[in-house]
């Protein structure tokens, strides 16, 4: 018998790799935070002596979900302003409250609320773009979650930085000071072409090469942001990334709602990763990206919720479902974006997009034990004919029963192990009271 830390035995294991398989009555062996084996439970019980053994008879084990595009702290602004045109929403509601309220403390409070929501719903990694990343990293490491450290750059002044030069300075300082933890994956984040100069984009490219960092940005989210670049630079945003030599497999672009045929091939030919944010794109009225087409071309499509101020949740189960349904609706083809396909988008494709393909995204030997258990015994997912279909089309994120990152439990039997949710809510509401007083909340009619 081999001594190991943990043996998880479940009714089903959906490892993602090998592709489109569901193993029945299988076990995952974990030692030192690493998956060391995946084998039938009968064999596992003979082979391994585990310090902790869990029998998950109602559960399916799968890799933790990867939220490949979000702004976690914006949970502070959830449902502050909805059903509004994008510019009205940004200029009259979001930017004013961000300007007044975003600082190291509110970022920490917002990230913690977002992490509670994400852990509860089976997300183990979030690709976060926001400000005060060292402060965010502090609470992320403390919670034991895995996330992007946001090396953000834009021309919009915030309390974090006042201009592009200042943002670049901050990027370099932050990267120098970054804590020694593999939970934080530092990514260069030029906010969007229309908020970054050509010089900044070139400097991002230089830093990406020098520090070997991946790059993440918004692109072609709205017709308006494309028009802004066309007006100012006489070309479309992707062309500006191309000129800055940023189009390669280290780049991931969120949204890409509006693309020409040529641009689709530009993404494909340069192995650029794209992040589908179907709910945010719809809710803000930006449109519906034809992601089934991009996926069919062989482009790596990952999935993100965007921030809670626009979505208004960080529910990757909901996002998988939306991605699958919308693709079928738009193409009038029910076979596109099958259950297994969107499960891959929410796991291994996300891992690829953030440069962690060898670390997370599947239950494979040698990968980190970033794993979730989903309880299918709830009547929402009964009867059970097809676990993969139930996960995508019927499961409620509250059916996530356990969450591990690096083999450490973050959620057990629906309870947080590393977050004090009462404290998190108290912190958030202390700021929310002030935000509510300051902001004009639209269309709430009181008597």
Please, which residue, 145 or 284, has the CB nearer to its own copies?
Answer: 284
Helices (H), 160-222: 164-177, 198-211
Contacts of 136 (CB under 8 A, 6+ apart): 72, 73, 107, 108, 111, 128, 130, 147, 149, 150
Q: How far is the CB of 165 from its own copies (least distance, A)?
A: 34
Residue-level length of the chain: 447
Q: How far is the CB of 395 from its own copies (least distance, A)?
A: 9
Q: How far is the CB of 75 from its own copies (least distance, A)?
A: 8
Q: How far is the CB of 326 from its own copies (least distance, A)?
A: 6
Please, which residue, 210 or 422, has the CB nearer to its own copies?
Answer: 422
Please, which residue, 324 or 409, has the CB nearer to its own copies?
Answer: 324
| Token code pair at residue 87 | 């510019």
Q: How far is the CB of 339 from its own copies (least distance, A)?
A: 6
DSSP letter (8 states) at residue 441: -
Please, which residue, 216 or 258, has the CB nearer to its own copies?
Answer: 258
d(CA 218, CA 193): 8
| Token code pair at residue 323 | 């991605």
* H or E element, residue 431: helix 421-438
Please, which residue, 21 or 169, has the CB nearer to its own copies?
Answer: 21
Q: How far is the CB of 40 from its own copies (least distance, A)?
A: 8
> Residue 372 in contact with residue 387, Cβ under 8 Å?
no
| Token code pair at residue 156 | 């919009």
Contacts of 304 (CB under 8 A, 6+ apart): 67, 68, 69, 70, 127, 254, 275, 276, 277, 319, 350
Please, which residue, 358 or 386, has the CB nearer to its own copies?
Answer: 386
């Amino acid at each position: 018998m081999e001594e190991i830390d943990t043996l998880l035995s479940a009714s089903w294991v959906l490892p993602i790799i090998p592709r489109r398989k569901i193993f029945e009555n299988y076990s995952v062996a974990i030692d030192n935070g690493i998956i060391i084996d995946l084998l039938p439970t009968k064999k596992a019980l003979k082979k391994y002596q585990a310090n902790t053994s869990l029998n998950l008879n109602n559960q399916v084990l799968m890799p933790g979900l990867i939220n490949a595009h979000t702004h976690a702290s914006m949970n502070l602004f959830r449902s502050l302003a909805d059903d509004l045109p994008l510019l009205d929403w940004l200029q009259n509601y979001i930017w004013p409250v961000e300007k007044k309220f975003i600082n190291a403390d509110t970022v920490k409070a917002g990230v913690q609320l977002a992490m509670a929501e994400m852990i509860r719903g089976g997300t183990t990694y979030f690709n976060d773009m926001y400000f005060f990343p060292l402060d965010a990293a502090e609470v992320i490491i403390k919670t034991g979650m895995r996330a992007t450290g946001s090396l953000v750059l834009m021309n919009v002044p915030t309390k974090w930085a006042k201009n592009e030069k200042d943002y670049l300075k901050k990027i370099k300082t932050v990267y120098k000071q970054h804590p020694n933890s593999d939970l934080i994956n530092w990514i260069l984040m030029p906010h969007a072409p229309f908020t970054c100069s050509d010089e900044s984009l070139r400097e991002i490219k230089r830093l990406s090469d020098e520090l070997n960092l991946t790059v993440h940005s918004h692109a072609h989210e709205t017709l308006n942001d494309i028009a802004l670049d066309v007006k100012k630079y006489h070309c479309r945003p992707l062309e500006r990334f191309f000129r800055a030599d940023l189009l390669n497999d280290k780049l991931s672009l969120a949204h890409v709602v509006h693309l020409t045929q040529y641009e689709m091939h530009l993404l494909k030919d340069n192995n650029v990763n794209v992040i589908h944010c179907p709910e945010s794109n719809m809710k803000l009225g930006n449109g519906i990206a034809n992601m089934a087409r991009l996926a069919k071309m062989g482009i790596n499509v990952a999935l993100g919720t965007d921030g809670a101020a626009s979505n208004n949740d960080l529910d990757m189960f909901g996002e998988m479902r939306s991605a699958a349904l919308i693709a079928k609706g738009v193409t009038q083809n029910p076979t596109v974006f099958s259950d297994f396909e969107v499960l891959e988008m929410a796991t291994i494709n996300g891992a690829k997009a953030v440069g962690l393909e060898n670390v997370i995204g599947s239950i494979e030997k040698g990968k980190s034990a970033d794993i979730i258990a989903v309880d299918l015994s709830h009547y929402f997912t009964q009867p059970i004919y097809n676990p993969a279909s139930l996960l995508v089309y019927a499961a409620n994120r509250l059916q996530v029963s356990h969450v591990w990152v690096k083999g450490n439990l973050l959620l057990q039997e629906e309870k947080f192990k590393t977050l004090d949710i009462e404290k998190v809510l108290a912190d958030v509401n202390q700021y929310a009271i002030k935000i509510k007083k300051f902001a004009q909340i639209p269309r709430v009619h009181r008597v």
